[in-house]
């Protein structure tokens, strides 16, 4: 039907062209949908739910997460197809622009939607609604920070501008600095909205039901994580990390988690992926760390999902990667009602703990709070293992002294649940700083001395083939790439 309509429109255009010259204005008229209101008159509140859901599903819970979970060895990739090739570090997947094309396109599409919200709150139909504007600004920071940390230099200043067909790329450090400034703008907008008693969003807000104070807390949490990512370039920012993170908790931050699935079959993005393809298994890298600590979360992470007796696989195991319905998997992957984090409480607790230790301060309370939050998250999202939550206190007794290494291990284990993208950022950041606390064990990371562990993800194919600015920096896709914030 689509092709028939396409040919019909082409024929119609030829008729119009013969009669009128088929001007560009005429083509615009043919493509216009007159029974829908123009976008500039639509209330921006109606655009917010899509912005939040897309951020959770596409940017944090889609192909980016599925692939980097293999790179971080938090999830074993199997099934004999795309995740097998990711597990074996095959450039067919790791360097191909088609691998992340959907996530690249859809994240930018969502950022266009978010820009429209901000514009309407500035001088459009929602002018002066600073609570809604701040929400969009925080989501914009989260979207662009994910893109630049995963891909390096990206279209930013000229992106999402319909008048610019081939936007130029901005340097990663410039994008980062701009996003920090935008976070401060959001914080200012939220504070003014709170002082003015604004309440413009309500049920349209799927995260906090219009609670502006919770959004202000999230803005500080996002700022803390941004500053931590920037320690590679600015080690002096550790104190600011602590300040922002602690302010988030003072305001009541308990995580940013999309949990509106209500038991609908396969609505959680990870659960939907697992139930449809079974490409996700438990990795020996996680298992070893848990076994060394007699971690009760192990029973939640490595389950005999298919009754094969194979609870987990060694990273890079080609035989198991080529099979399906064979390797055990985390229990939460079978829970369609599991929440999807944009940023968890546990992750932020460990952000603060790391920064405090780098400042020579005691981080015991933050470390313990992070472990407790992780145990609670495991239990909540694998209901059959709810008792795990009550075992955190006994587990913590083994850690007489809190070290930076153990903070990073516990952050790694907590982010196994659904924050693998942040783990990927952590691993690359720490390597750039000359530190390694969780050793990657996949033998396919190296091929006769040649690194095959992706330092960056390839750009989306749609821009590689159509935007010469992106094509120029992409090259063949097989270059070694560069670390976070490398000049």
Instruction: Show Cβ contacts of residue 31 under 8 Å, excluding neighbours closer than 6 positions.
Output: none
Q: Give me 115's structure tokens.
A: 């820009």
pLDDT tens readout for residues 51-92 = 999 999 999 999 999 999 999 999 999 999 999 999 999 999
Kindly tell me if the per-residue pLDDT of 6 is higher than 70: no
Q: Measured at the alpha carbon of residue 472, what is the angle toward residues 466 and 473, in degrees to the nearest 5?
A: 115
Can you give 74-124 as a three-state secondary structure string? CCEECCCCHHHHHHCCCHHHHCCCCCCHHHHHHHHHHHHHHHHHHHHHHHC
Which of 483, 251, 208 has the alpha carbon at shortest distance from 348?
A: 251
The DSSP call for residue 460 is: P
Task: Convert the pLDDT of each residue in 172-184 to its tens digit.
Answer: 999 999 999 999 9
Position 308 pLDDT exceeds 80: yes
Question: Among 120, 103, 108, which Cα is nearest to 159's?
Answer: 108
This prediction has a pTM of 0.92
Q: Residue 455 has which token pair?
A: 């330092």
Chain segment 389-433, per-residue pLDDT in tens: 999 999 999 999 999 999 999 999 999 999 999 999 999 999 999
- The fraction of the chain above a pLDDT of 70, given in percent, is 89
Q: Closest Cα partner for 469 from 58, 64, 135, 170?
A: 170
Tokens of 9: 């429109």
- Identify any residues that bridge with 300 across adjacent strands, giving them in sequence order: none
Domains and CATH numbers, the chain: 47-260+335-474 (1.25.40.390)
- Paired sense of beta strands 446-447 and 340-343, if any: unpaired
The encoded tokens of residue 2 equal 């689509």
Task: Give the pLDDT confidence score for residue 479 in this predicted structure.
Answer: 52
């Amino acid at each position: 039907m689509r092709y028939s309509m396409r040919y019909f429109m082409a024929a119609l255009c030829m008729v119009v062209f013969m009669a009128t010259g088929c001007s560009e204005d005429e083509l615009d008229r043919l493509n216009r949908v007159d029974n829908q209101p123009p976008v500039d008159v639509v209330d921006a509140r109606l655009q917010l739910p899509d912005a939040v859901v897309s951020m959770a599903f596409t940017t944090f819970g889609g192909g980016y997460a599925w692939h980097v979970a293999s790179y971080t060895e938090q999830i074993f990739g199997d099934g004999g197809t795309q995740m097998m090739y990711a597990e074996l570090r095959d450039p067919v997947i790791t360097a191909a622009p088609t691998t992340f094309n959907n996530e690249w396109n859809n994240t930018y599409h969502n950022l266009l939607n978010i820009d429209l919200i901000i514009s309407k709150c500035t001088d459009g139909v929602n002018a002066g609604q600073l609570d809604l504007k701040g929400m969009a600004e925080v989501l914009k920071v989260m979207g662009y920070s994910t893109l630049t940390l995963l891909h390096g230099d990206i279209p930013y200043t000229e992106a999402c501008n319909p008048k610019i067909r081939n936007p130029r790329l901005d340097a990663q450090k410039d994008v980062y600095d701009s996003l920090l400034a935008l976070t401060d703008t959001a914080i200012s907008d939220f504070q003014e909205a709170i002082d003015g008693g604004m309440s413009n969003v309500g049920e349209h807000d799927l995260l906090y039901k219009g609670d502006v104070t919770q959004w202000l807390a999230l803005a500080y949490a996002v700022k803390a994580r941004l500053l931590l990512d920037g320690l590679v370039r600015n080690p002096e920012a550790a104190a600011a990390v602590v300040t922002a993170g602690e302010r988030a908790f003072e305001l009541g931050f308990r995580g940013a988690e999309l949990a509106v699935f209500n038991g609908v079959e396969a609505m959680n993005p990870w659960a939907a992926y697992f139930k449809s393809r079974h490409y996700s298994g438990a990795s020996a890298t996680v298992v070893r760390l848990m076994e060394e600590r007699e971690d009760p979360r192990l029973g939640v992470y490595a389950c005999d999902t298919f009754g094969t007796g194979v609870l987990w696989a060694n990273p890079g195991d080609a035989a198991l990667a080529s099979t399906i319905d064979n390797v055990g998997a985390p229990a939460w992957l079978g829970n369609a009602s599991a929440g999807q984090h944009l940023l968890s409480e546990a992750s932020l607790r460990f952000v603060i703990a790391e920064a405090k230790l780098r400042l020579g301060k005691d981080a015991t309370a933050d470390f313990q709070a992070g472990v407790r939050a992780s145990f609670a998250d495991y239990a909540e999202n694998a209901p059959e293992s709810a008792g795990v939550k009550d075992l955190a206190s006994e587990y913590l007794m083994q850690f007489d002294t809190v070290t930076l290494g153990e903070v990073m291990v516990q952050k790694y284990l907590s982010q196994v649940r659904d924050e693998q993208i942040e783990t990927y950022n952590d691993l690359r950041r720490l390597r750039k700083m000359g530190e390694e606390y969780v050793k990657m064990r996949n033998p396919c990371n190296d091929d006769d001395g040649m690194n095959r562990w992706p330092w960056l993800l390839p750009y989306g194919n749609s821009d590689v083939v159509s935007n010469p600015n992106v094509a120029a920096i992409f090259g063949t896709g097989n270059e070694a790439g560069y670390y976070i914030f490398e000049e």
